[in-house]
Structure 1
Amino acid sequence: MNLLKTANYKERFFIKNIRLTLLTGLLLAFILCRISEHQKIYGKDISYQILFDNEIIGLINDESDVYEVYLQLEYELKELKNRNIQIENKIDTEPATTIDENAIWFDKDTLYNTLKDKITYSVEAYELTIDGEVIGVINSEQEARNLLADIASEYIELYNEGDDDVAEASAIPITVGVASLNAITINNIVDIDSTNILDKVELTSVAEEVDINNDTPIEVVPIEMHFEQDISGESIFVPEDEIMLYQEMEMLLASNKTQPVKYTVAEGDNISTVAEQNNMTISEIKELNPQISDINIIMPDEEIILEEATPVLETEVTEKAIFLEKIPAEIEYKPNSEMFDDEEKTILQGEDGYKEINVQITKVNGKEVSREVIDEKIIKEPTKTIIEHGTKKKAVARSNGSGPSVSTSDKGLFMHPLNGEGVFTSGYGPRWGSFHGGIDFGAPAGTPIYAADDGTVTYSSWNNGGYGYLVIIDHGNGYETYYAHNSKNYVNVGDKVSKGDNIATVGSTGDSTGNHIHFEIRLNGSRQDPYGYLF
């Protein structure tokens, strides 16, 4: 029994050992297999899957090749586009846990060629905004500055019109709202040489009293330009085809936009006049006002909607307008006892002076909103005219005055400046210690004054030499006639007048003690006694 038990025990032990050995061997083989697999994956035989936008496109042995190809493509695109670029695709790697026998294997070159055809990219550009609203995308911030300067140039060119002395666009300060682009301000303009102004105008047409609101300036110079809105932007990455061409953006910025505005119908308005005054059609007004059943019937005080066009870029331009005002030469009369009392002689011919008046004009979107005088300066002083008049009496006095005798052919050459109206109040010759160079006719204020003969108006303005409102007519034959102290002048310099034309009205302006006309006749610059020409 005991031997049998011992034998059975040994047999069972042997079988158990065999099983354990087999199991150990299998386990060892499995471990060795896994170790071999592990070494292939994580050791020097490891491979990597290449993911393009999270999709596996193939395998590569060296992970660093993928990143080198990526950087190479990025660099080449940056050089080609001459700006920063951004590859939009996600390119990544991860260790390959299993190997598909149909997988595509890449090396560095084949991967480069594949990715070059597959990738999409954006380029760095500049998103331009006006008052926070996106206008469009252009190439760069510098291009935005160039655009604004070019648009400013179009405004400034309006001042040039062939005059090389007027400012160029780059010569005036240009500022932009409160925006980041205000760095485009450039150099201040250089003032125009005042003495040159006298060469640019016909001096005979310069008035003695300038009306800055109605008279035409001699010169208009741009001082500065300001874009009213907040113009700014930021760098962004966009597809190339979203970048506007320079000319497209320039046209957009120079264009107008429309916005609805309320209009209150006034007495006498009708739909046609309202449309015409607002550059709209009746159909456009009808579309904006669907609440009106019959658009042809609008009532006073009724509110309707219209469209108002305003520039995309709102501008404020400051101008300097230069006016020229004449300072008449004073006349000094000196007695000469060696000359007869009907004689006079110019000893020194004076010259008129000129004053420059500088006016600042402000325009918003091309419409004037204000103007004011900023300074005045005399650019040429007047010089005095000195005339000697005789005091010696002739043996036989003239019955009709004391001036030079009038030839028979010239008698009646001129008509009476009041056409026979008025009262003769003062003759030609010495008077009150001075010399009276014409004749006076008293008449009520507003009495018509007529041209004494055909001619051209060479002066029609206020005269600071005592004449008040004065008209001078050149008759083209050496004769000139003067009409002084007028209440109002009806003619302008350059007007052609005919004998008997109403050129002014009687007044008491200048050095005058009552309503009258002071009438002079001059022959080749020397004053004549008008009496003999009229009577």
Structure 2
Amino acid sequence: MIQNTERAQTTKVIQVPKKYYSANEPMGAKDKNGTNHTEIQKRNWIFNRKKLKIFAGTTAAIAGTAVACAVVASSFSLGYTVKVDNTVVGTVAAKSEFYEVLDEVKTEVKDIADVEFEPSGKESFQVELIKKDSFTEKEELAENLKSTSEEMTEGFSITYDGVYFAALPTQEDAERLLEQYLAGFTAGNENVTAEFAQEVKITPTHVVKDTVKTADSVYAELLAGKFVSYEVQDGESLEDIAANFDTTAESILADNQLADQTSLAGQTLKIYTGEPVLSVKTVEHVNGEFEIPFATISNEDDTLYQGKTEVDTEGVNGLKFVDSYITKIDGVTVEETVLKNDILKEPVTQVERVGTKELPPSVGTGEFAVPTSGTLTSPFGARWGRMHAGIDLGASTGTPIYASDNGIVTEAQFKNNGYGNFISIDHGNGFVTYYAHCSEILVSPGDVVAKGDLIARVGSTGRSTGPHLHFEVRADGEAQDPMNYIK
């Protein structure tokens, strides 16, 4: 700055009119009128320096103002401070941002609580110069908006993979609830660890007062499993609906607290999906001795009726020592890491004769054969707090499926529900068997089949997480444990 000022002064001196100073005249010389030119030069020099100082100061002030304006322009912008009933809820760059968040809050509250959300008062906007990085985030603006309504209160929501599940009054309640739920999967076994397979979060938020629940009630919902809403159509029976959702009419009646199924058309029912609300992954360290199931060799014997078996050599289970880690999701094994598998005693193979003599057509024996070769992946009975009406046999896609007993095919089609490709066989003695999730159906309604006839192939159609056969045995319409009838 000093250098610039000196240059300006030098320039100003050079421009002084010659009548005040001549390079040929000695300093201090006087003209014929007695005027001292040196004094004139000094006075003009001082005068010019003052003008330069004034000019430089003005220029600096203007430059400083310009810089300040530039800083403001780069860091600030015009926006709005939003108030609801004189309460500041946030700042936005445009009014449309506020109304967008308001619409999202209305939709969220409607979906969760079936309540029409309205702020406590009228919104107002005040134009202000606002720092660009200090505009209110959408999530904060939404929470501030919710807090203005008398219908809302503070709570802690539980979500899984971003989906709202429930709200509790305190964070401690929510944490204790989730810990209690996970503890049910370890059953005090130190060799089992459990964690959520989904992204489960506890978030402080504002919720409709009536939706805040106790930990006990939410825990009961977790044990009950996931439900969907279904509106009953004209002409639909409860049995039709139950079949579509792989459940029973009795379960639907109980879940909806209905005494009977009359006049259901138009009603909205809650239907259990067979899935848990929160998915859990467990890892179990297995270390110890376990039985090895014996194999069976079956030889055909045409002197025995179909379904009859005579054992020539009794099978004996073997024994092995296993050290492994088994990973399950919702009770279904998805991975096993074997560290050690030592055979301590070999099993003895069972040898038996199986009858091939034909029975009268369509009459079942009452004893059922395993319908496919595979591994039992899910037994009959309670699963995630609900009833599993059959058994699941895991096998590769295309594995043959056989009629479990003699009978008549009553249904063979794709059902647009959880069963997928589906076959039903009436065995003529009060028993009916179901075969679901087939990749291929090889029989037609009305076909007479004998036990062991090829009827389909294993697949994963319908509501299925992998290739398997869902097999059911029903006696007079009631689901039975197939393992009690399989011989």
Q: Same fold (TM over 0.5)?
A: no
TM-score normalised to the size of structure 2?
0.28
Larger gyration radius, structure 1 or structure 2 = 1
TM-score normalised to the size of structure 1?
0.25
